Amino acid sequence: MVPTQPVGTAIPAELAAPAQCAVAPALEELWRACEAEACGLTRDEFEQIVLRIGMAQNFGQAADLAAETTTAQQTAFFATLRMADLVLARACASGSERAWERFIALYREPLLRAGIAITGNESLGRELADGLYAELYGLTVRDGERRCPLDSYSGRGSLMGWLRTTLAQRHVDRHRRTHREQPLDETGDCPAPAAESAAQPDERGLPLLAGTVREALEREGPEEKFLLASYYLDGRKLHEIAAVLGVHEATVSRKLKKVTAAVRKQIVRGLERRGMRRREAEEALATDPRDLTAAEHGFGAADREHLRLKELLQSSQSCPFKEQAGQGKSE
């Protein structure tokens, strides 16, 4: 059963005027090229969708320049969008029968393969893909309005990539919800698990190293911290990090080496500044940063406080992404 209620079709009134006067010929050409009519989208619906996406992305310009974009810039931005995928996704979101047939013909098997690749298990992958199908196809009503995840697809990347990322999101969220769950019969013989709360850094009991490490990490840039977290915390390989960042593997290795040396140097300096001898400071760095436990090496042995680099890195996020994005756009 295909949902028939259109989603996200409400177009602000201010979008109509510029679309008709400025980029109307370009939109007309895009509408014909992407065969939106075959998917059940009218030209007006197509223009509204495209203009909404353009306004949300500031037509690829900075936030303060969004109101001053020219017709050429808007046309160039529209040309960068994957119109065919966008039309198909929006047509499916609006409940077009033909669009869903096409969607299933095109993406059912790839979506199943992606689910298996993400989970590493065929049954789990199939289950994950079917769950996403249900979510895409079903009825999720929020605030009295049906919400379809396909409505969030903006056409910047491929629809298949969006589906893979959505599958990964679902898989990660489910894993994070359930990975600590254990059957009761398996926990009987095990010793009492380490209290996760004990790993939380206490500001009053933080050893000397905690403040030093935090200080050293805050000096580094976002990409350096991403490298440290991906390599040392997540255990990603160099080629995986390089593929995500779009650089060569050697570049990642070189940057990692550089940032590690810089962090070590900053930590040693910070420890020396706090009254520690250089030899003691260097001995404190002899452990793997992923398993950095200050209590085991003479720092705050009395309180046995564990210091984990992961928590230091994870706690570096001070504000939500939305606020960060807002700050970035305003800059």
Point out which residues bind other proteins (CB under 8 A): 60, 62, 80, 110, 113-114, 117-118, 149, 152-154, 156-158, 160-162, 164-169, 171-173, 176, 222-223, 225-226, 228-230, 233-234, 236, 240, 243-246, 313-317, 320-322, 324-325, 328
Of how many residues is the chain composed?
Answer: 331
CB 16 within 8 A of CB 65: no
CB of 177 to other proteins, least distance (A): 8
> Closest separation between CB of residue 191 and other proteins, Å?
26
CB of 181 to other proteins, least distance (A): 16
| CB 114 to other proteins: min, Å | 5
Nearer to other proteins, 159 or 208 (CB): 159
- Of 205, 176, 241, 222, residue with least CA distance to 317: 222
Closer CB to other proteins, 114 or 307, in the complex: 114
Nearer of residues 5 and 140 to other proteins, judged by Cβ: 140
How far apart are alpha carbons 200 and 1 in whole angstroms? 49
SS3 197: helix
**Which residue, 118 or 284, is less far from other proteins as judged by CB?**
118
- Nearest approach in angstroms of CB 197 to other proteins is 16
Q: Which is nearer to other proteins, 187 or 317 (CB)?
A: 317
CA angle 148, 154, 155 (to 5 degrees): 120
Report the distance separating Cα 47 and Cα 69, nearest Å: 17
CA gyration radius, the chain: 26
3-state SS class at 179: coil
**CB distance 228 to 261 below 8 Å:** no
